[in-house]
Structures are given as structure tokens and as C-alpha cells.
């Protein structure tokens, strides 16, 4: 009924107002042609009533006339067109007085200077009230209809929250409370790549949807899942996708939210977290950076360590306290799995560990397609080529790359994102912002050219090293120049030979400076830092030194078992130093042997400042051909 009224009410109201306007449109003081007032007075009032002696009194007011008749003392109320016409009213009085002296005439018309306005106002008052009444009725119905719609909408929302409370996203406010925000409705379709990870998590989705199927078989779904991998690989996105696929609530909290300067607050917030989860079940609890709360317990006696241990103990207790019908699964995310307490990772608490790896080339292309949907890309841009040039990039880094390209396109006043914008954005996120306006002396340019040429030549001569994409003496970031290698695909295995060749490439810049210029500069500081870390890992973690042996020295030190003495530590330091010296020696020998190739590249760098990978391949091929010809 309300819907029909909503459609026709404005039209009905408009028609009524139009009818009223037409009925009362005659101006004051003008007698309509279709009705002769004086004829009406003479024929009806005078001859029909007064002459026959039926009128006992006649009362005339501003807005109407009243006749008192003899028949039963009844009143006849004449509201014809004779009212509020002053000249006509006077004519009526005169005519009645001429025909009958017995009729009592009562004149109640307004007098004074305002009488001209009072009469029309009184006459129109009833009509105005009619219009106002129509408007009030229409407004009242409108108000009632809007209230009806509001209550109906609130009822539907309440039913949706009760029947579909799943899908809600609750985030911690850092004080033990949780704020519900609109669900992002992320599903596996929104997660590009990671097919193995999604396949592993699909069992949990199926369990949350069809629990009885697993209980009939006697199977138990994992109580906890740990997502581990490098930053930016999409661990949080996977957690949301599981909640979206299963259409359950998603309670998100960071590990740092449990900490507080007051003792005992962390354990209290763990209890509040699981209480909220039980109210929202079925649901997923997602703890980001779980290592902040689940790191290995220490035996320190300070209050901070004790409080951290108390918080972890409360988390372990809550995990053990899951009832079979709780329908709560805890997800944790970390990139520091080695720091987690073993008690947290045992079956029955965190039952399943999923390693989220960096995307391969096909997955990178899929991720780029997702993040480029709202970007204006030039038609000739190949996302496959960009994916091939971004080996080792995480999903977050790929998103940032496209965003930087869009910013550069706006800065360069381009209508769309061009390949030049993408290439520049790739350099920017990989090596830093170009400092093209920095004033560089000729000596500094020569040092930089020899330094980068040393890296490049040794890299070209090492079969285990990836191709050089570009070499430049234009400053970027904190570096005076750069040698840009192609990213490496694979699962991360490195051999001892690869490490030694990498160290030779890192030490080649310093060796080239010393050979050509006869001195060394501070430009190799970052190279030495990276090389030292690689050599240290070779000895301490990977057991790649024959003298130290296949033993994890770092693990022994962490366990404080006292196996290593001062002499052994000195020997380890000597072995790390010897590995670096051997790498520098290898680099120096290669540069001396291929000095002419180095000099050609230096001249080319001083001339062009930036040399592409294609130009390097051409230079190297010509050099090898010349050497073989000799």
C-alpha cells in the first residue's frame, strides 16, 4: 500500500491544489459573467423570501450572509458570490429595507481603515485551512512512510548481522577492545598466485563449511596455522581470503597489541581476544607478527621478560582450552619463525606451518595484472616482461612498483604510464632515487667508473653470476654508481662456489680502484659489509669452511653450551678474513688478466654514463672474439 501511495500521492496532491486554485481564482470585486448577483438578490432573496415574509432577520458579515427564517427557527447560510462585495452588500440592505420594515437587519461587517483587507482574509481563511490540511495530511503520510522504510531497513540489517554475522572483520584498538569494520570479502580469487598455499588452506575452508563430514571420518581440523615467509608475500591477505571463502568472522590483532607497560595486561588481552572469538564463532583469529608474543621464553628475572612469558603462557593455555565445538581457528603470521617458542609450534596448538614463498614469474605476472587494473598503462607495455625483470620481488613490492610508475607518469605529465616510467620506477625501488643534479668532479667520476667497471667485468667472467642489466656512474641513493644485476629465480639454494664468486664480484670494485688508480676509497664500504655477512654465514651457519667443519657455530652460541673457547673464536674470525682475502685476490687476478676489457668499459662509462645490458654483451663478445683471434 505504501508503495502505491508513494507513486500516486504527489500527483493527487497536485491535482487537488490545482482544482482549489481554479475554483477560487476569481479576483475580488469582479462579478463573474455567468452569474448576475443583483438578479440573484431580486429574484431569490427579495421576491422569493422577503416579499413572502419568510425572513425574520438578516445578518450580513464580511464573509457570508445569514437569514433567520420563520419555519422552525432554522438558519439558512448563504455563502454565494454576494459575500465580501461591499457594493453588493449595501444593495442587499437597501432592497430588503424597501420591501419590508419587519425584517431586522444586523450589519457586522468590519469597519475602519483595515476593513478592506480583513474581509478577504476572513473569506479566504477556510480555503487556506483546506490547503494547509491537505499539505499536513500529505506530509504526515510521507513521514510515516519514511519511518516505515527506516524501521524495515534496520530490521533487515539486524537480521543480516544475526544470520550473516560471518564475514565481519574485527580489528584490535590496542586497548583490549575490538572495532568491527566492513568486511573486505576477500576470497581466493583475489589472491594472485600462491596456488599451493591456497590448496593447503582450502581444507580449512571446507571444514568450516562442512564440519560434519570431517567429524564423521574422525578427522580433526588444525587448531592453529602458521603462515611464514618474507615480508610482503601476502600472509595477511591469505588469512582474510580463508575467512572470506568460509564466510566466517575475521578477528585481527597484531602481536604488539598485547604489550603494555603494566604487568599482566598482555595475558588479560589474550583472554579478551579468545572471549570475543567465542562470541563471534565460527571465526578466524589472525595474529600478525606473532613472534612479538610467541618468542622463546627466557630465564631472565627482569619484569619485562616475566610479563612476556606470562603472556605466552596464557596464549598456550587458551589454545589448549579450545572446545570441540568452538569452531575457532587461530592464524599466525611471522617472518621470524626461528624465534618462536617450540611449545607454540607443537601439534595441538599450531598444527600446520605453511611457507609462503616469493612469487615466481607467472605469479608475478598475475599479481601485476591485479594491481594494474586501475592503472592507465600504454598498450605496448608487457607485464610478462616486467615480471621477468622483477625476480625476487614480493607482492607488496610489485604493488609499490606500479604505484611509483603512476606517480612518475603524473610528474612527467604523461597521459598514460609508459615503459620509460616503469623502467625508472624499477630503478628507483631497486637502487634508490637518481641524483642527476649532483655536482661530481672528474676524479670522482673516474673512481666511480673504475669501481663499477670492476664489478661488471668480474661478474661477466663468473659463470655462476646473473647477467648485468645495466651499469652506471650516475649516483642513486647513497651510492655514487651502480651495477644492476638481473634477479634470480629459484628456491634460494646457494652453493659454496656461488658464494665465492659473489664475494669476488663484491671485492672487484675495490680491487679495480687499487689496480688502476693506485689507491682505495670509501666507495667499497657497503660492498665490504655485504661480503663480510656472506663470509660469516658461510662459516657460522652453512658449515662451508673445511677448517671449522660442518657445524652451526651460531646455534652453539645461542645454546650457550660453552663449546667454543677464545682460541676457537679467533680461528673462526681468521677463517672469515681469509675467505674475504681470497675473494679479493681472485678479483684482482681477473682484472689484471682482462685489463683491456676494463679500460674499454671505463671509457664507455665516462662517455655515456650509463651502459645497458645489450651494450655490455656486445662489448664482451667483441673482446672474447679478439682474444680468441690472437
Query: What distance in Å separates the CA atoms of residue 522 and residue 605, rounded to the nearest whole number?
Result: 20
Nearest Cα to 367, choosing from 186, 190, 187, 237?
190
DSSP states of 503-526: HHHHHHHHHHIIIIISS--GGGHH
Query: What distance in Å separates the CA atoms of residue 22 and residue 24, rounded to the nearest whole number?
Result: 6
- Residues 421 and 409: beta-carbon distance below 8 Å: yes
E-strand ranges in 212-274 read: 224-229, 249-254
In this structure, what DSSP letter does residue 380 have? T
Catalytic residue, candidates 404, 452, 470, 514:
452
Q: Is the dihedral of CA 174, 177, 183, 187 positive or negative?
A: positive
Q: How many residues does the chain have?
A: 630
DSSP states of 151-207: HHHHHHHHHHHHHT-TT-EEEE-SSS-EEEE------GGGS-S-HHHHHHHHHHHHH
Residue 261: C-alpha distances to residues 141, 173, 174, 256, 269 (Å): 59, 16, 13, 12, 13
Kindly report the backbone phi and psi dihedral angles of residue 65, in degrees, each rounded to the nearest multiple of 5, phi listed first: -115, 145
Residue 253: C-alpha distances to residues 158, 201, 288, 332, 460 (Å): 26, 20, 6, 10, 48
DSSP states of 102-146: SSEEEE----STTHHHHHHHHHHHHHHHHHHHHHHHHHHHHHHHH
Q: Is the dihedral of CA 342, 348, 349, 352 positive or negative?
A: positive
- Residues 312 and 294: beta-carbon distance below 8 Å: yes
252: which strand partners? 171, 286
- Residues 108 and 60: beta-carbon distance below 8 Å: yes
Strand order in the sheet with 224-229: 178-181, 169-172, 249-254, 283-288, 328-334, 224-229, 352-356
For residue 131, how many other CB atoms are within 10 A of its CB? 15
264: left (phi over 0), alpha (psi -120 to 50) or beta: left
- Cα-based angle 550, 555, 556 (whole degrees, multiple of 5): 85
Query: What distance in Å separates the CA atoms of residue 93 and residue 77, rounded to the nearest whole number?
Result: 17
Tracing cell 481554479 back to the chain, one arrives at 22
363 is catalytic: no
Q: Which grid coordinates belong to 330?
A: 587461530
Q: Which grid coordinates belong to 626?
A: 679478439
In this structure, what DSSP letter does residue 42 have? I
526: which strand partners? none
Residue numbers annotated as active site: 452
Amino acid at each position: 500500500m505504501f508503495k502505491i501511495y508513494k507513486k500516486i500521492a504527489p500527483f493527487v496532491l497536485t491535482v487537488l491544489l490545482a482544482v482549489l486554485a481554479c475554483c477560487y481564482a476569481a479576483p475580488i470585486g469582479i462579478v463573474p459573467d455567468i452569474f448576475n448577483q443583483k438578479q440573484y438578490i431580486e429574484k431569490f432573496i427579495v421576491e422569493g423570501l422577503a416579499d413572502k415574509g419568510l425572513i425574520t432577520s438578516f445578518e450580513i458579515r464580511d464573509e457570508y450572509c445569514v437569514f433567520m427564517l420563520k419555519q422552525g427557527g432554522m438558519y439558512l447560510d448563504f455563502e454565494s458570490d454576494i459575500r465580501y462585495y461591499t457594493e453588493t452588500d449595501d444593495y442587499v440592505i437597501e432592497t430588503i429595507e424597501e420591501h419590508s420594515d419587519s425584517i431586522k437587519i444586523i450589519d457586522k461587517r468590519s469597519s475602519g481603515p483595515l476593513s478592506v483587507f480583513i474581509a478577504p482574509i476572513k473569506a479566504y481563511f477556510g480555503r487556506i485551512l483546506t490547503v494547509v490540511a491537505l499539505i499536513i495530511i500529505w506530509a504526515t503520510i510521507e513521514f510515516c512512510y519514511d519511518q516505515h522504510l527506516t524501521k524495515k531497513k534496520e530490521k533487515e540489517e539486524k537480521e543480516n548481522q544475526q544470520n550473516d554475522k560471518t564475514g565481519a572483520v574485527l580489528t584490535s584498538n590496542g586497548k583490549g577492545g575490538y572495532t568491527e569494520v566492513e568486511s573486505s570479502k576477500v576470497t581466493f580469487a583475489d589472491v594472485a598466485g600462491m596456488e599451493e598455499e591456497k590448496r593447503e588452506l582450502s581444507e580449512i575452508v571446507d571444514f568450516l563449511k562442512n564440519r560434519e563430514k570431517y567429524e564423521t571420518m574422525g578427522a580433526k581440523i588444525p587448531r592453529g596455522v602458521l603462515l611464514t615467509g618474507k615480508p610482503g608475500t601476502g600472509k595477511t591477505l591469505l588469512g582474510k581470503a580463508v575467512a572470506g571463502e568460509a564466510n566466517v568472522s575475521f578477528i585481527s590483532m597484531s602481536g604488539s597489541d598485547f604489550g603494555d607497560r603494566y604487568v599482566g595486561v598482555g595475558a588479560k588481552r589474550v583472554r579478551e581476544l579468545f572471549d570475543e572469538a567465542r562470541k563471534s564463532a565460527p571465526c578466524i583469529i589472525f595474529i600478525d607478527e606473532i613472534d612479538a608474543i610467541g618468542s622463546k621464553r627466557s630465564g631472565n628475572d627482569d619484569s619485562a621478560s616475566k610479563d612476556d612469558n606470562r603472556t605466552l603462557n596464557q596464549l598456550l593455555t587458551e589454545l589448549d582450552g579450545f572446545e570441540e565445538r568452538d569452531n575457532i581457528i587461530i592464524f599466525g603470521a611471522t617472518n621470524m619463525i626461528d624465534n618462536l617458542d617450540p611449545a607454540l609450534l607443537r601439534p595441538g596448538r599450531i598444527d600446520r606451518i605453511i611457507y609462503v614463498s616469493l612469487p615466481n614469474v607467472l605469479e608475478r605476472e598475475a599479481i601485476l595484472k591485479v594491481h594494474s587494473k586501475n592503472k592507465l598503462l600504454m598498450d605496448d607495455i608487457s607485464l610478462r616482461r616486467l615480471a621477468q625483470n622483477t625476480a625476487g620481488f614480493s607482492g607488496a613490492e610489485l604493488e609499490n612498483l606500479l604505484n611509483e610508475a603512476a606517480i612518475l607518469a603524473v610528474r612527467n605529465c604523461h597521459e598514460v604510464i609508459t615503459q620509460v616510467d616503469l623502467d625508472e620506477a624499477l630503478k628507483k625501488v631497486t637502487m634508490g632515487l637518481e641524483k642527476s643534479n649532483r655536482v661530481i668532479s672528474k676524479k670522482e667520476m673516474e673512481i666511480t667508473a673504475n669501481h663499477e667497471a670492476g664489478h661488471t667485468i668480474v661478474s661477466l667472467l663468473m659463470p655462476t653470476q646473473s647477467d648485468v642489466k645495466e651499469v652506471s656512474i650516475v649516483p642513486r641513493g647513497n651510492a655514487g654508481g651502480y651495477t644492476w644485476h638481473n634477479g634470480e629465480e629459484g628456491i634460494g639454494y646457494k652453493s659454496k662456489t656461488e658464494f665465492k664468486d659473489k664475494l669476488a664480484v663484491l671485492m672487484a670494485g675495490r680491487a679495480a680502484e687499487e689496480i688502476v688508480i693506485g689507491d682505495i676509497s670509501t666507495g667499497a664500504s657497503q660492498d665490504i659489509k655485504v661480503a663480510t655477512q656472506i663470509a660469516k654465514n658461510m662459516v657460522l651457519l652453512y658449515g662451508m669452511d673445511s677448517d671449522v667443519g660442518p657445524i652451526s657455530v651460531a646455534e652453539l652460541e645461542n645454546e650457550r653450551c660453552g663449546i667454543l673457547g677464545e682460541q676457537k673464536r679467533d680461528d673462526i674470525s681468521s677463517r672469515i678474513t681469509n675467505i674475504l682475502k681470497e675473494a679479493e685476490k681472485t678479483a684482482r687476478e681477473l682484472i689484471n688478466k682482462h685489463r683491456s676489457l676494463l679500460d674499454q668499459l671505463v671509457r664507455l662509462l665516462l662517455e655515456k654514463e650509463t651502459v645497458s645490458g645489450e651494450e655490455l654483451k656486445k662489448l664482451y663478445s667483441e673482446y672474447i672474439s679478439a682474444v680468441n683471434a690472437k
